[in-house]
Structure 1
């Protein structure tokens, strides 16, 4: 635990490495500043909460996590989970669910579950990330075109219907600024400039909107300053409060009705499914990001320490107004490309965000909402991984395609909680079915004369794991022995697993064979599984149940049993 902190303290980086990491942190800070605001707005909360997240999570998780180069903060993956929470439980409910998710992540890390997270099937991941991209893009239509959308509608189809009905209210001024911002976002990468595309696009959008407002009579667009307000020492302000985040318990913050949400078991119970989803998605995102970063940087992360760091960060962030955080792949990749190799880069990135809050708050208020919507449209497109989605549809087995489409549809039409639960459930069922097909029990043709055993001795070769899915299938044929059989030998040399369902099945077979006066010999079962059978009561009984280490020993026992019979 805290290995990243120990390594960062014990290591002695050169001045050049320190300088490079500081510059990398500043580069990532420039990228994260507008993205953090945009993702907070998309999640249904004022933009400063995204900045608080990037600042605090970026520092805490970098120092306590298992990756030296991961950059953590708000991400697009969380938007479809957080927005419904805000609508139903308000800011207080959102921050409380984030705190609960942090506890779950911490327990996952302490429980050494970092490796288990990596087994989530590819179709599940692609399905819900593509669905998230579609939902995010759909919800940006309102601000991009300046639509007057009717309030209400909890589900995607209802909101989509409201957006469609509002298309007649398109505002050409908002659309113009959104289109110009989107054009710069798409064209800027071709210039191969070191200035990030989204920073250039937002600057162009804000500058053109300000010039048009000054020069064209009646020209007006919604901005961060006009959309969001705050109260400071009894005075009302617009945009982002230029102060450091302050400590506050989440349950003292307002719920959906504007009153403090409070703390109760009922509230925790209602928020628990969302908290679990946040934790699972946060774990997936952070560990996937760490794997990508390892490939780019040549370093090795500790998955369990990374989960512990993510847990501590998400437990601390809500206490200062921050929304749930996880490692961000795009920002981490930018960090590695800029030369970031130590947690110092993420710390500098967090300090840059703090400086932006304190010094640039008035200027950030001029950013148009249409420009933020254009930025999120590009984020949604990149997240959707359309090429990977289409490729999976073409080349994946039918079962995987079904899981992909189902996870995508559930994410879009319902929510991430259902999509992740159903997707993981289907993937588990598919895995069990495929595992069952690998396990079998077949009668082996035995040269009875060579081994000097009578025809009344039969041998069954059992291969693969025996668990609740495969035990019945593999063992049911053993009970169907010929009337003349007197000894059954089970060659279990290749049995790799034995669970309680298999033990019960074995017990049933032993009893059934005993009732037919047929002896059972269990050959070469691994000692740890042999102990399980003995604890369950399947012990050696002379003439009924015997254990052997080799097939020669088994045939010798069979000869004695048939001779005695």
Structure 2
């Protein structure tokens, strides 16, 4: 009886929180799906399926899972190499690996990564997300290749070879302006906190672009009836290619999910000490592994815990994991009831949303703070960020850890 009363009493907090998170998650799910190369529909499937599965099975009461910027950074070159047909194999093996990490109780080791390395990892992700928006900003073909700088440079060459498209540039600028202006208004009028800046920008500019028939690319139709198509056809690709890609995805999924869950716990502790229930890292890994496998089987992508959406969930007052489940249900309703409207969202507006997200991820205040710390931390922070952008995420973390260990050892050996 007490459990039922607690559940019903929490709904008054969880339902509004889930609705707010869904409004924030909609443009991000669409944008990350488009940016990864999997498509907007795949991004939505990932947000819905992973939101429910990880929300119910994971080790955190507040974690919101779905497509994330970090995972998109990893998936873009993978999809470019193995195609969408290879995503099933990568997702299933990666999910199984993450479950294995949890069963072997490796969560505590993932959490032991030095904080400067994690900060540099986050900064590198922000830079890569921004570079990935170039084709949507200028509406030109994406550059060839799989490496971030190679693709970005090829895209800029395509920009120089075609007439400049001012409409998408204008929409990107307008999106950022609305996000900045609305954020400033929300600080003055608390009643506006229920309307996220990204959601306001997407609604206002999509309606405007539709009314004036702006010549810009749009998301296109999201066929609700075909969204969750069961995919059981194993890709005809070399095992080595699939396993390596899956291992990279699994490491990132474990890393980002545990970081997000840890941040959520810290936020809840600041909000209300009595509500703190420390997340369980190994159960979180198992839940995220099943979420990635389930998403991959129905046309989605590998998923992780999403720090931004998890933070919104906590700030919106969520009390239990039902807020995460409700956010996924609301997203499904959006697709079923509003799919024809969502199809008219310009891709340039999504690029503006993700540019804003990359700025928040980079966090200028955090950059300044990390550049003012001790020299070993500063060196490992910058090294990690550079390697993440120039090579890839996993090598960025590995080299960052090595540099941090060597620099810290050298610092301790210096005479005082």
TM-score (norm 1): 0.67
1:311 aligns with 2:289: yes
Q: Is the 8 A contact 1:178 1:205 kept in 2?
A: no
Q: Helix, strand or coil: the match of 1:366? A: coil
Which residue in the other structure is 1:286 paired with?
257
> Does 1:203 find its partner at 2:203?
yes
Q: CA deviation at 1:271?
A: 2.7
- For residues 295 and 362 of structure 1, do their structure 2 counterparts lie closer, same or farther at Cα, with a shift above 3 Å needed? same
Instruction: Determine if contact 1:181/1:204 at 8 Å carries over to the other structure.
Output: no
- Give matches, 1:89-238, under 5 Å: 89-146=82-139, 148-149=140-141, 151-168=143-160, 169-192=163-186, 193=192, 194-213=194-213, 219-225=214-220
Which structure has the bigger radius of gyration?
Answer: 1
Shift of 1:162: 2.3
In the alignment, is residue 403 of structure 1 matched against residue 380 of structure 2?
yes
1:384 to 343, 356, 362: 362
Q: Which residue is equivalent to 1:262?
A: 236
| Partner of residue 245 from structure 1, selected from 220, 224, 228 | 228
Residue 120 of structure 1: how far off its partner (Å) = 0.6
Higher RCO (Cα < 8 Å, 6 or more apart): 2
The 1-side partners of 2:118 and 2:168 are apart by 34
Q: 1:435–1:154: structure 2 CA closer, same or farther, 3 Å change rule?
A: same
Q: Distance in 2 between matches of 1:130 and 1:363?
A: 34
Q: In the alignment, is the contact (CA less than 8 A) between 2:18 and 2:327 conserved in 1?
A: yes
Greater share of residues in strand: 1
For 1:99 and 1:51, how far apart are their aligned partners in 2? 18
Any idea what the Cα deviations from partners look like across 1:42-81, whole Å, max 9, x if unmatched?
1111111111111111111111111111111111111211
Distance in structure 2 (CA, Å) of the matches to 1:14 and 1:407: 43
* 3-state SS of 2:60 partner: coil
Bigger fraction of residues in helix: 2
What are the Cα deviations for residues 279-317 of structure 1, in whole angstroms up to 9, with x where unaligned?
222222222222222223223211111111111111221
Residue 9 of structure 1: how far off its partner (Å) = 11
Q: Which residue in the other structure is 1:366 paired with?
A: 344
Residues 59, 287 of structure 2: 8 Å contact kept: yes
Whether contact under 8 Å (2:135, 2:142) holds in the other structure is no
In the alignment, structure 1 residue 41 sits paired with structure 2 residue 34: yes
Cα gap change, 1:395 to 1:427, in 2 (>3 Å) = closer
Question: C-alpha separation between the residues in 2 aligned to 1:421 and 1:94?
Answer: 25
Q: Distance in 2 between matches of 1:362 and 1:174?
A: 21
Do the aligned partners of 1:177 and 1:208 also contact (CA within 8 Å) in 2?
Answer: no
Distance, in Å, in 1 between the alignment partners of 2:236 and 2:386 is 35
Instruction: Determine helix, strand or coil for the equivalent of 1:340.
Output: coil
Q: Give the conservation status (yes or no) of the 8 Å contact 2:251–2:394.
A: no
Residue 166 of structure 1: how far off its partner (Å) = 3.5
Paired residue secondary structure (1:395): coil
Unaligned 5+ segments in structure 2 are 187-191, 269-275
Other structure's SS at 2:52 match: helix
CA distance in 1 between partners of 2:87 and 2:17 (Å):
31
Q: Whole-Å Cα distance in 2 between the matches of residues 286 and 303 of structure 1?
A: 9
Q: 1:341 aligns with which of 301, 316, 319?
A: 319
In the alignment, what sits opposite 2:11?
Answer: 18
Deviates more, 1:137-146 or 1:185-194: 137-146
- Asked if 1:412 is matched to 2:411, the reply is no
- Asked if the contact 2:132–2:148 (Cα under 8 Å) also holds between the matched residues in 1, the reply is no
Q: TM-score, normalised by structure 2?
A: 0.89
- The number of aligned residues is 398
* Structure 2 CA distance for aligned equivalents of residues 281 and 335 of structure 1: 22
User: How far apart, CA to CA, are the structure 1 residues paired with 2:21 and 2:360?
Assistant: 18
Name the CA shift for 1:277/1:107 in 2 (closer, same or farther; >3 Å).
Answer: same
**Aligned CA distance change for structure 1 residues 367 and 279 (closer, same or farther; 3 Å):** same
Instruction: Calculate the aligned-residue CA RMSD, in Å.
Output: 2.3
Distance 1:111 1:61 in 2: 19
Give how far 1:98 is off: 2.1
